[in-house]
Every structure is written in structure tokens, then in C-alpha cells.
Amino acid sequence: MSMQNFDVRDFRRALSQFPTGVTVITTNDEQGRPVGVTASSFNSVSVEPPLILWSIDKGAHSLGVFENSEHFAVNVLSRNQVDVSNRFASRGEDKFKDVIYSKGVGGSPLLNDYSAQFECKTWAVYDGGDHLILVGEVLDYRYNDSNLPLVFARGSYSVSSQHPSTVKYDVKDESGEFISDYLLYMLRESYNRFSSDLYPKLQAEGGVNPEEWRILAMLCDHGPMPIDDLAPLVMQPAVALIQTAEWMQDRGLVELADGSLSLLPEGTSLANKLLCLAKQHEAEVLIALSEEQSSQLKNGLRAIMESRP
């Protein structure tokens, strides 16, 4: 690939194949007001001394604040903090309104909830193309093992979990054993087996990944939707959803206009085709159950989801 035909959007899509955690980086401006941004570009650098780094877009409103700040804090978000990530990724609002936090080293805000936190002194700032790279020396840190970290990959939020190939679990275990009769493990195992078969079929038949599939299915069900309303339903922050929508628009599947997304005729045709494929796959999965058992299974799962919003 030559730089003459370098496709920025395609490059971003390639980068999105690498999963990252999600952080909110915080500091204070010259007036002592709290400042925070969502960042996935966080990484370790050194153990002796303890150094970490992250990068900030040169177009960010808070660039000057972080560039000149002596201290900052890295708040690694937990799986329950998608709303926090979206809040600090947005522009033009009081990001700390109704957010519970305390003050750490140098006064940097520390969010009340987290998977891990690192309080840092700015160690170095480097130029990195269209970003600045900030290296911090860790002065204090803490973590919470009870909070699973939030994960971001391929434009969507996710959570970390054990890979199915490492789980030595046989569904034919004796009925008296705990694992074979525990709902959480049964749901996870069912999902792993269901999705590992379905997603490759969607890719082979329609050339779509899971993120694009969710968008097609949602728009097919609900019609045109504002990006801000669609984003939480397809588990993508608005910025990432727009990027995914632009890729799909290039393929003639959707139209992105005035902050809303809608299916084009080709997208509607593909969505209907894949919905039929998904329904057929579902029928194959449920073939071991009677129609009444299938209905009871779905109704029971709906009741569980409604009881734990």
C-alpha cells in the first residue's frame, strides 16, 4: 500500500480490530475546574520507574489544559460505566455535572467508581502526528477486582470474558454438579455456541460484521433513527457509530444525514436476507425444543431481563 492511496477510514477500521480498555483522563484547568476526556489510547511504558502513557487529539478542546498540567489521573472504567464513557467523549456540556468524584494528587478528579485508577505526575509530552503523547509517572494507584473492565473493540463496547476454548465444561456433567445447573454458565455457554456459528454465516452471506449486523437489524425493525438514540441500542458510542455508518454508506447500505441513520433499498434488501438467515439459524438451535418450550424459554429470558434493567 502506498501513501498516495492511503484510506484513513479503512486504517481506523484496521486499528479497531485491536481491543482496548476505556479510560477517563482527568485533571484541572488553571482556574481549578475539573477537566476530563474519554481515551482508549492508554498503555503501560515502564515498571521502574512506573510510567504509563496516553494520547490526546490535537483538535481536542482540552488539549492545552492537559499539555500544561503537572498532574493527571487515569480512571479505568468498569463494565457498568458506558454512560460515563459517552459523557466524557462528548463536547459542549458540563461533563462533571452529577458525577461523584474526589480529589487526588495535584487535585485531579478521581471517579467514585472504577476498575483501576492511576494518579500521575506528567513526566514528558511528545509530538505524535495529529496527537500529543503524554507520559505520566505513577505516584499512586488502586484497583477493584470486583469490577469487570469495560472493553472497546471494532467500534463497540464489550466486556472481557474467558475464551470458550479454555473452559473445560461438559454440558453432560452429572445433574448434581453446580456448573451444569447454574444459569449464568448455561447462558454464557449457549451464547458462545450460538454466536460462534451465526456471525461467520452473516459475514459469508452478507459481508457484515456483528456491529454492522446490529445496525441493520435495528433499522429494519424501527426505521430511521437519530444517531444518539441508536448508539446505546447497538452498543456503540455515537462517534464510533458514525464511523461505522460511513463505512456502510460507502457500500450503499445506509444513508447518514442530519444526525440520523436510515436504510437505503440495498440495505433493506440485505437486512431482510440476513434476518431470514438468523431466523433459520435460530430454528436450528431450537430444534431440540417443542414450540411451547421455545416460547417459555424466550418469555423466561424476557422476564429476567426486565427484572434487572
Read off the pLDDT of each residue in 224-243 and give the average, rounded to a whole number. Answer: 89
Structural domain harbouring 29: 18-153
111 and 179 share a domain?
no
Residue type, 162: Q
Q: Is residue 158 part of a domain?
A: no
Collapsed DSSP state (helix, strand, coil) of residue 235: coil
Which three cell numbers, joined as nine digits, stand for 5?
492511496
Whether the CB-CB separation of 167 and 96 falls below 8 Å is answered with no
185 and 289 share a domain?
yes
What digits encode the pLDDT tens for the residues 1-20?
556 678 888 888 888 888 89
What digits encode the pLDDT tens for the residues 77-133?
998 898 999 899 887 678 998 899 999 999 999 999 999 999 999 999 999 999 999
Give the closest residue to 161 by CA, choosing from 148, 146, 178, 145.
Answer: 148
Is the model's pLDDT at 171 over the cut of 60? no
Is the model's pLDDT at 169 over the cut of 60? no
d(CA 269, CA 266): 5
Say how many domains are in the chain. Answer: 2
Is the model's pLDDT at 166 over the cut of 70? no
Give how far Cα 151 sits from Cα of 80, 105, 289, Å: 11, 27, 35
Looking at residue 165, its pLDDT comes to 62
What digits encode the pLDDT tens for the residues 245-278?
998 999 999 999 999 999 999 999 999 999 999 9
Looking at residue 109, its pLDDT comes to 96
177 and 254 share a domain?
yes
Q: Is residue 300 part of a domain?
A: yes
226 and 105 share a domain?
no
Beta bridge partners of 169: none
Q: 103, 123, 153 — which closes off a domain? A: 153
Looking at residue 215, its pLDDT comes to 95
Q: Is residue 86 part of a domain?
A: yes
Looking at residue 196, its pLDDT comes to 83
Looking at residue 254, its pLDDT comes to 96
Read off the pLDDT of each residue in 41-57 and give the average, rounded to a whole number. Answer: 95
Whether the CB-CB separation of 249 and 229 falls below 8 Å is answered with no
Place of cell 422476564: 303
145 and 188 share a domain?
no
3-state helix, strand and coil shares in percent for the chain, rounded to the nearest 5 = 45, 25, 30
143 and 188 share a domain?
no
188 and 226 share a domain?
yes
Q: Is residue 12 part of a domain?
A: no
* Cβ neighbours of residue 192 closer than 8 Å, sequence gap 6 or more: 164
Looking at residue 3, its pLDDT comes to 60
Give the closest residue to 21 by CA, choosing from 63, 75, 71, 61.
Answer: 75
Q: Is residue 162 part of a domain?
A: no
48 and 128 share a domain?
yes
Q: Is residue 6 part of a domain?
A: no
Give the CATH number, domain containing residue 79: 2.30.110.10
Whether the CB-CB separation of 59 and 132 falls below 8 Å is answered with no
Looking at residue 103, its pLDDT comes to 95
What digits encode the pLDDT tens for the residues 127-153?
999 999 999 999 999 999 888 899 998
